[in-house]
Amino acid sequence: MRGPQFWMRRLAASIGAAAVLVTAACGSPSAGSGSPATGGAAPAGASPTTPVSAAASPSTEFDTEFTQALELVTAYWRQEFTANNVAFAPVKDVRPYTKDGELSCAGQPLSTNNAFYCPPSDLLGYDVNFVRAGYDKIGDGFLYLLLAHEYGHAVQTRVNTNRLVSRVYELQADCLAGAVIGDSTRAGTIELERGDADEIMTSIMTIADPDGVPWFDPTAHGSNADRLAAFSRGYRSSYGACHLDSLSGVRLVPSSPR
């Protein structure tokens, strides 16, 4: 993939591993859990859209590309909310961590090898070592997939979506992630190189809940078919196909035909 202002590393055959990481990053009790959070203090100088390593080290290529991915996803949703005359505020706090229990949601400590969005604190937290490992192994396409899904949970919170069982909620975030990537590709913000789109779809097909996970399991995310269908629906048809029903009467319609 590539964009007009930055290059995204090519998603090679190993992008399947990215989907593994993305799924792990949305595990309970984190992504979109709706649980209150009590996070530790952010490093001095950290801003909501600028990730800072736990040791507040100088900016690295990873930091730069993480920020670019976050800014793209944020800008996408700002544009869509604005086009619908709906007030929009970016995620309030984006915070890295490195240790089990360094951040929590509803008083429940979060583990490493994870990333999450916690609605009450409007916090997107991520194990920086886990995310950096995904970036180093796969490329920054991993960051876009991860952030588009987690920001999808922030969008669900902003419109006060009708919260159902975990699997439905997570599949809706997959659909919203597909919308961000699909719409951004059609708008020319991201350029998919040959084979990238197929690789993304293939990666999603390789990831699913283990066989036997009940529909109502609070950690369920969906089967192979579920996740592929959800992401593909958003990718092809934008978020209008994601059934983003609002309990607050907020209505979002894609700002241009797709």
Q: How far apart are CA 190 and CA 187, in angstroms?
A: 8
The pLDDT of residue 187 is 93
Buried/exposed 212-246: b ≥16 CB within 10 Å, e otherwise: eeeeeeeebbbbeebbbbbbbbbbebbbebbebee
Q: Please report how the helices 141-158 and 15-24 are oriented relative to each other, as an axis angle in degrees rounded to 10.
A: 30
Predicted confidence (pLDDT) per residue in 9-62, tens digit: 333 333 333 333 343 344 333 333 332 222 222 222 333 343 433 333 445 889
Token look-up 């949305």 returns 26
Q: How far apart are CA 188 and CA 179, in angstroms?
A: 14
Q: What are the beta bridge partners of residue 93?
A: 123
Predicted confidence (pLDDT) per residue in 225-244, tens digit: 788 889 889 999 999 999 99
Of 219, 203, 135, 211, the closest CA to residue 170 belongs to: 219
The pLDDT of residue 100 is 93
Predicted confidence (pLDDT) per residue in 142-183, tens digit: 788 889 989 999 999 999 998 777 888 889 999 999 999 999
Lowest mean pLDDT among 34-43, 69-78, 197-206: 34-43
Instruction: Please give the span between the terminal C-alpha atoms of the chain, in angstroms, as a whole number.
Output: 20
Of 221, 57, 210, the closest CA to residue 132 belongs to: 57
Tell me the pLDDT of the chain averaged across its residues: 74
User: The tokens of 197 are what?
Assistant: 């789109």
pTM of the model: 0.76
How many CB atoms sit inside 10 A of residue 136's CB? 11
How many CB atoms sit inside 10 A of residue 137's CB? 12
